[in-house]
Amino acid sequence: MPHSPKRITRKDLRQPDQFVTLTGKLIHLVQQHKTASIASLAVILGAFLLWGSWDLYRGRQNRLAAQGYSRALSLFQEGRYREATEVFTQVSKSGSSTYSRVASLYLANIYLAQDQPQKALPVLQELARKKIGPEYLQQLALLTLGYAEEKTGKYKEASTNFAAAARLSGPFRGDAMLGNARANRSAGQDKEALSIYRDYLTSFAGAERSAEISLQVDELEAKIGKAEKAK
């Protein structure tokens, strides 16, 4: 007998662990490393609405994709996640329109929020290959892919995608750096993680997480120093 997908609760929506809120022109990414939060989808919708340089109703394919996207979004907002997943999947396969790409981001984040990173991976891998625009959406796609890979223990691949996200000029560079450091640490690459954490503190001096990252640096320095003395 098939099991129903995990219900996303109000508690899940409030989780600060993973991802994004959008306030005006400031996009602030709050990321830790436990479970994905549906709050991350706010930045996808916000970025999508802010991107006004293309015609929303250009061509029949875009019109159909727009209708499907609007329906999926309504289902999602009503908490009908199973149905929203089905429609987002249809829209994501509708072609190369921006609607299909943003639908893919929603779909992947729903899978992550339901603790199904294996389902999110192929969606995100295909999305990353498409090199979606604008650049901050591509950065978000790479960041989300890195997170999904991290959740499945693919730390080397996660590091590669976090590093690629950090090289892009978008609002998520700091979070990509921290993801890269975390993936390296999980893979036992403490020296590389330490180097990235130090770069973060230099690049984002006084950031909200500076004190936390400074503690990570102290801990890694002590661990590496102890290992070297034991040689």
pLDDT along the chain (231 residues), means of 10: 43 33 28 39 51 49 79 85 90 77 87 91 90 80 94 97 94 94 97 97 94 95 92 78
- Going from the N-terminus, what domains does the chain have, and what CATH number goes with each? 10-188 (1.25.40.10)
What Rg do the C-alpha atoms of the chain give, in angstroms?
19
> What pTM, to 2 d.p., does this model score?
0.74
**Is the Cβ–Cβ distance between 148 and 129 less than 8 Å?**
no
Question: DSSP H helical segments within the chain, as ranges?
Answer: 10-14, 41-50, 59-77, 81-92, 98-113, 117-130, 135-151, 155-167, 173-186, 190-203, 210-229
The letter for the amino acid at 146 is: G
**Is the Cβ–Cβ distance between 186 and 155 less than 8 Å?**
yes
**Is the Cβ–Cβ distance between 105 and 140 less than 8 Å?**
yes
Q: What is the pLDDT of residue 73?
A: 84
* DSSP 8-state symbol, 78: T
**Is the Cβ–Cβ distance between 170 and 136 less than 8 Å?**
yes
Q: Over 47-70, what HEC string results?
A: HHHHCCCCCCCCHHHHHHHHHHHH
